[in-house]
Structure 1
Amino acid sequence: MSIEPFTVRLRVRIYEIDPQLHLNGAVYVQYADHSRYECVRAAGVSVEGMLGDGVGPVNLETVIRYHNELRAGDEVDVSCAWVWGTGKTYRVEHTFMRMDGEMAAEVSHVSGLLDLRARHLVSDPAREWFARATQPEVLGLQAAKPAPA
């Protein structure tokens, strides 16, 4: 059984428009960040708690793929899907869907969790996220609790 990715709806504001009258490229990253933050909150994770414990999420790579433009006043659903592997990094993938059903863009991140004291990535980010989430399935961790380190 698969669950639908977390999604948040946003409306393009006039001040986010570039000279070509479509959504500025940097704003796609901001929308993705907002979707990811709301997803983390929906999973029951306290970002403030993580930071207080000396751990913080970081993006190591961001790729934007544009498909169809977004213009002022358009509404867009921005999904957030987490893809877990076995190393120190994981992927977070966002799909931007216009209300007409057309995909506007995709934003994908290679991310990790930074130990803020030692300044290096934690070895098992899935385990760390799972331990902090009250609803880990929102983060794609529903199958099984990650193995202890």
Structure 2
Amino acid sequence: MTSEPFVVRLEVRSYDLDPQQHVNGAVYQQYADHSRFACVQAAGLVVEDLIADGLGPVNLETNIRYHAELRGGDEVDVTCAWVWGEGKTYRVEHVLTRADGVLAAEVTHVSGLLDLRERRLVTDPAHQWRVRSTQPELMNLG
């Protein structure tokens, strides 16, 4: 297992802003999605291969907790930490921290792997991710 969560740094772009000149709420989810996808890639997984195998990652629930504004030109570190348990679902937790150290938001997903043929969640998603990964520790599967 890795002791530190995966992290990417992003710059807030002008088109991420709403009329109040802070990041639009939906963009926080996009930042989390970007971090999660980058983590999956860094772990050696190819999402197209996963889909070709008949599996697709799905988000079943998303919660965003806002703490401080993100504004144009800010840089934000977005972590990605995978939390595994028993059953068909798992959590992916993201912490968004401005470059100045201020906590901006927390985004948490309840996710699963959908069997694209049966249209049902697979029973052991951690196993499916682990067997396809070259660096499973990045997904807390080591």
Taking structure 2 as the reference length, what is the TM-score of the superposition? 0.98
Moved over 4 A (4+): none
Following the alignment from structure 1 to structure 2, what is the Cα–Cα distance between the partners of residues 83 and 70? 26
2:76 paired residue number: 76
Asked whether the equivalents of residues 6 and 39 of structure 2 are also in contact (C-alpha less than 8 Å), the reply is yes
1:104 paired residue number: 104
Following the alignment from structure 1 to structure 2, what is the Cα–Cα distance between the partners of residues 124 and 52? 18
Following the alignment from structure 1 to structure 2, what is the Cα–Cα distance between the partners of residues 13 and 2? 31
2:58 paired residue number: 58
1:37 paired residue number: 37
Question: What is the identity, as a one-letter code, of the residue corresponding to 1:127?
Answer: H
1:147 paired residue number: none
Alignment of 1:128-147 (within 5 A): 128-142=128-142
Question: How many Å apart are 1:3 and its aligned residue?
Answer: 1.7
Task: Flag the structure with more relative contact order, 1 or 2, with Cα contacts below 8 A and sequence separation at least 6.
Answer: 2
Taking structure 1 as the reference length, what is the TM-score of the superposition? 0.93
**RMSD after superposition:** 0.9
**Residues 87-115 of structure 1: per-residue CA shift (max 9 Å, x gap):** 10000000001011110000000000000
Say which SS state the counterpart of residue 134 (structure 1) adopts. coil
Say which SS state the counterpart of residue 77 (structure 2) adopts. strand
Following the alignment from structure 1 to structure 2, what is the Cα–Cα distance between the partners of residues 117 and 7? 33
Question: How many Å apart are 1:20 and its aligned residue?
Answer: 1.3
Following the alignment from structure 2 to structure 1, what is the Cα–Cα distance between the partners of residues 51 and 129? 13
Q: Aligned residues, how many?
A: 142
Q: Does 1:93 align with 2:126?
A: no
Following the alignment from structure 1 to structure 2, what is the Cα–Cα distance between the partners of residues 86 and 22? 39
Unaligned runs of 5+ in 1: 143-149
2:23 paired residue number: 23
Asked whether the equivalents of residues 2 and 138 of structure 2 are also in contact (C-alpha less than 8 Å), the reply is no
Following the alignment from structure 2 to structure 1, what is the Cα–Cα distance between the partners of residues 30 and 52? 24
**Residues 5-33 of structure 1: per-residue CA shift (max 9 Å, x gap):** 00000000011101111000000000100
**Residues 52-98 of structure 1: per-residue CA shift (max 9 Å, x gap):** 11101000000000000000000000000000001100000000010
Question: What is the identity, as a one-letter code, of the residue corresponding to 2:24?
Answer: N
Unaligned runs of 5+ in 2: none
